[in-house]
Amino acid sequence: MKTLYKIIGFGENEHGFFNQKAVSSTIGYACGIYNGMLWDDDYTGAVIIKQEHETWQVIQEFGTEGMSIECNALMGFSVKKAPTLVMV
């Protein structure tokens, strides 16, 4: 079974909210990309997702408060602003 590490950096710029994605087959390389995003002022947050076939888990994250990590049917991931919940 092949393990993939998906790294998503996200933030806001003059064009709006963005996701920058990368994929690695090794945790070391994934951590290197993630650490680069930690120190880059263009990003407000990032996540590392470990994917093994049809299962996945977030193994490292920062700046994700108020964010949702979404997975589509083809195992494509994205980070979006979480909807605001209103109590009535």
DSSP-derived 3-state class of residue 27:
helix
Residue 86 lies in a domain: no
Residue 57 lies in a domain: yes
pTM over 0.75: yes
| Rounded Cα–Cα distance for residues 82 and 88 (Å) | 19
pLDDT band at 1 (very low <50, low <70, confident <90, very high): low
34 lies in which domain range?
Answer: 3-81
Number of domains in the chain: 1
pLDDT band at 50 (very low <50, low <70, confident <90, very high): very high
| Rounded Cα–Cα distance for residues 38 and 43 (Å) | 7
Residue 46 lies in a domain: yes
Residue 87 lies in a domain: no
DSSP-derived 3-state class of residue 19:
strand
Residue 10 lies in a domain: yes
